[in-house]
């Protein structure tokens, strides 16, 4: 049940506290699309989900939200008063719902009824997105920019709520409380150091600079709408005039290392991120990698919250990155993605390939074939590969990310030269590695048979060798082909429709 939840209202505000006088909320609220109501209601009607031998995930529709909580029936100390009185247990998460109507994000009740704008503001899509991660209650949760909370609350006043959610009862503490006293025990953000500091603890938070979305190629929605109806004969001509199309975006300031030093083997993971929408969830599968090769990863697409998904993942993992455009998407993606985005515009409309590493990236280059035949997804650009060099244990290593690139093999071989090389990505044929003078880890003699990678799910690796890692480093081993699936509290979630391929190389 893949449902994107955003921090909402007071919880969003609680995640961005920064030492000023602000309101304070004592419960957690989430914001999810109304299209998910049937799945959530079904879970409530069927008595929840068993997520652990002793723990159940339960929910109940109440007022203008759905309350969700974890329950251990064997816990003799659980709060029975709240359940007996209201029908839910504390602590809980309140899930509120929204619909997209005329480029506004509007809160609705569990029956789909609109909330009055006098009670809850309507948020413009251009104000609400791109979303970004906030540290909240021990986790990073995604929410809208800070100014959304400012529309709803007066940040110049620190106020305690009249309702206590722990006991679900009314308590009157007075209008305002002393925020200086709160800062000693509650987390307040110091944006200069990207830390949350209390008297007894400090916690690194996601740096605000990591949420920047400033692509090198800027096109307007109006331009892309005009391109959408242009005849196919103009596709390549339009592509040729797109600014900075073949310029690589690099950030070498995230990781402090000029050179990568590895003990044992260099760990490489190839990941078709399928737009990068689930980059934060998928990060748990990438934590141990020295190099991450990415395909199909967006900037400013409605299907991925208008985020710069490569940059967010790179900052989350503390790695430098190189990203290049594969396509400027004029339409809203495939049929399933268009149904999900409900016609929302793409702010930038970019999808591409990238790689992440903990050391400095130099000599970047993009090799691109002509845009080719258009389809139901009108797009400009062309299949491409992005390459660069890093230094590992004192030796130059070429790193590359390709996606369905058929051709330019001579150019790629010339760029590699005599350097050690690791190239990953989606490949049109099983001969791509050989065509560029390398060996594929999935189809080499190191393996008795190929491993499939696409279309993958939590239940299957698929039926095609759609992704591979190529190298000229002879001392390597296949780590694994991993299903694109994470499991938390016994609940499975798919983070892509491609399996992840991992290999390690002795440098």
62, 129, 141 from 94: Cα distances, Å: 9, 21, 14
Per residue in 131-178, pLDDT (tens digit) is: 999 887 778 889 998 888 877 776 666 777 777 777 788 877 666 677
Q: Give the angle subtended at the CA of 266 by the CAs of 262 and 267, to the nearest 5°.
A: 125
For residue 470, the model assigns a pLDDT of 94
Angstrom distance (rounded) from CA 88 to CA 65: 13
Does residue 386 sit in the same domain as residue 476? yes
Angstrom distance (rounded) from CA 469 to CA 442: 7
Does residue 22 sit in the same domain as residue 60? yes
Q: What is the full DSSP assignment across 135-197?
A: EETTEEEEE--HHHHHHHS-TT--B--SEETTTTEE----S---HHHHTTTS-EEETTTTEEE
Structural domain count of the chain: 2
DSSP 312: H
Does residue 123 sit in the same domain as residue 259? no
> Which element (helix H / strand E) includes 341?
helix 335-341
Does residue 438 sit in the same domain as residue 402? yes
Angstrom distance (rounded) from CA 427 to CA 268: 17
SS3 content of the chain, % helix, strand, coil (to 5): 20, 35, 45
Q: Give the angle subtended at the CA of 474 by the CAs of 472 and 476, to the nearest 5°.
A: 105
Does residue 264 sit in the same domain as residue 387? yes
What is the pTM for the complete model shown? 0.92
Does residue 462 sit in the same domain as residue 481? yes
- Which residues of the chain have a pLDDT value below 50? 18-22, 445-446
For residue 443, the model assigns a pLDDT of 59
Domain for residue 183, yes or no? yes
**Cα torsion through 325, 331, 334, 335, rounded to 10:** 170
Does residue 259 sit in the same domain as residue 280? yes
Does residue 145 sit in the same domain as residue 12? yes
Domain for residue 1, yes or no? no
CATH of the domain at 326: 3.60.10.10
Does residue 166 sit in the same domain as residue 293? no
Where does a domain end: 187, 206, 225?
206
Spell out the residues 6+ positions from residue 124 whose beta carbon is closer than 8 angstroms to its own: 103, 104, 105
Domain for residue 458, yes or no? yes
Per residue in 190-210, pLDDT (tens digit) is: 777 888 777 777 888 899 899
For residue 21, the model assigns a pLDDT of 41
Q: Which domain holds residue 199?
A: 6-206
Residue 363, token pair as written in the block: 């000599």
Where does a domain end: 206, 240, 268?
206
SS3 46: coil
Burial class (CB in 10 A: 0-12, 13-18, 19+), 296: buried
For residue 459, the model assigns a pLDDT of 92
Does residue 451 sit in the same domain as residue 401? yes
Where does a domain end: 165, 189, 206?
206
Instruction: Tell me the chain's radius of gyration from C-alpha atoms.
Output: 25
Cβ atoms within 10 Å of 193's Cβ, excluding its own:
12
For residue 116, the model assigns a pLDDT of 81
Per residue in 219-236, pLDDT (tens digit) is: 999 999 999 899 988 999
* Residue 462: strand pairing partners: none
18, 86, 247, 487 from 243: Cα distances, Å: 39, 59, 9, 42
Does residue 216 sit in the same domain as residue 198? no
SS3 57: strand
Does residue 362 sit in the same domain as residue 496? yes
Domain for residue 342, yes or no? yes
Spell out the residues 6+ positions from residue 30 whose beta carbon is closer than 8 angstroms to its own: 5, 6, 7, 8, 11, 93, 94, 95, 96
Are 58 and 87 a contacting pair, CB within 8 Å? no
For residue 471, the model assigns a pLDDT of 96
Domain for residue 485, yes or no? yes
Angstrom distance (rounded) from CA 452 to CA 458: 13
Burial class (CB in 10 A: 0-12, 13-18, 19+), 36: middle
Domain for residue 50, yes or no? yes
Cβ atoms within 10 Å of 477's Cβ, excluding its own:
13
Angstrom distance (rounded) from CA 91 to CA 94: 10
Spell out the residues 6+ positions from residue 401 whose beta carbon is closer than 8 angstroms to its own: 293, 294, 295, 353, 354, 355, 385, 386, 387, 423, 424, 425
């Amino acid at each position: 049940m893949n449902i994107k939840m955003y921090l909402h209202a007071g919880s969003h505000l609680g995640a961005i506290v920064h030492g000023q006088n602000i309101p304070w909320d004592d419960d957690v609220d989430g914001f999810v699309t109304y299209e998910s109501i049937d799945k959530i209601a079904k879970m409530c009607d069927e008595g929840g989900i068993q997520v652990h031998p002793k723990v159940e995930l339960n929910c109940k529709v109440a007022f203008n939200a759905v309350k969700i909580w974890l329950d251990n029936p064997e816990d003799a100390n659980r709060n029975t008063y709240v359940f007996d009185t209201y029908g839910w247990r504390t602590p809980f998460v309140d899930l509120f719902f929204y619909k997209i109507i005329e480029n506004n994000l509007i809160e609705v009740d569990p029956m789909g009824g609109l909330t009055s704008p006098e009670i809850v503001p309507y948020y413009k899509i251009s104000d609400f997105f791109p979303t970004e991660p906030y540290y909240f209650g021990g986790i990073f949760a995604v929410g809208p920019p800070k100014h959304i909370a400012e529309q709803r609350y007066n940040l110049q006043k620190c106020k305690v709520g009249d309702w206590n959610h722990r006991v679900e009862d009314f308590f009157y503490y007075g209008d305002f409380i002393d925020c200086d006293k709160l800062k000693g025990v509650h987390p307040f953000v110091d944006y200069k150091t990207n830390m949350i500091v209390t008297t007894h603890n400090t916690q690194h938070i996601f740096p605000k600079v990591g949420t920047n979305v400033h692509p090198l190629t800027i096109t307007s929605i109006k331009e892309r709408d005009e391109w959408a109806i242009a005849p196919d004969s103009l596709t390549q001509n339009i592509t040729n005039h797109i600014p900075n199309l073949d310029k690589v975006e690099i950030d070498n300031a995230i990781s402090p290392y000029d050179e990568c030093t590895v003990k044992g083997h260099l760990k490489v993971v190839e990941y078709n991120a399928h737009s990068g929408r689930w980059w934060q969830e998928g990060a748990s599968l990438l934590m141990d990698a020295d190099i991450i090769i990415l395909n199909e990863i967006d900037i400013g697409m409605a299907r991925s919250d208008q985020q710069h998904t490569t940059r967010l993942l790179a900052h989350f993992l503390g790695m430098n990155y190189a990203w290049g455009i594969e396509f400027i998407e004029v339409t809203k993606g495939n049929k399933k993605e268009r149904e999900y985005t409900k016609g929302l515009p793409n702010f930038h409309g970019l999808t591409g390939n990238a790689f992440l590493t903990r050391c400095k990236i130099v000599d970047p280059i993009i090799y691109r074939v002509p845009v080719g035949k258009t389809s139901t997804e009108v797009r400009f650009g062309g299949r491409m590969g992005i390459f660069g060099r890093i230094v590992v244990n004192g030796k130059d290593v070429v790193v590359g990310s390709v996606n369905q690139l058929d051709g330019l093999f001579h150019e790629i071989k010339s760029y590699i030269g005599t350097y050690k090389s690791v190239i990953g990505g989606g490949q049109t044929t099983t001969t791509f590695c050989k065509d560029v003078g390398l060996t594929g880890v999935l189809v080499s003699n190191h393996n008795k048979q190929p491993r499939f990678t696409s279309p993958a799910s939590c239940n299957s690796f698929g039926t095609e060798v759609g992704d591979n890692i190529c190298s000229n480093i002879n001392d390597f081993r296949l780590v694994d082909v991993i299903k694109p699936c994470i499991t938390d509290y016994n609940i499975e979630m798919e983070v892509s429709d491609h399996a992840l391929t991992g290999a390690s190389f002795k440098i």
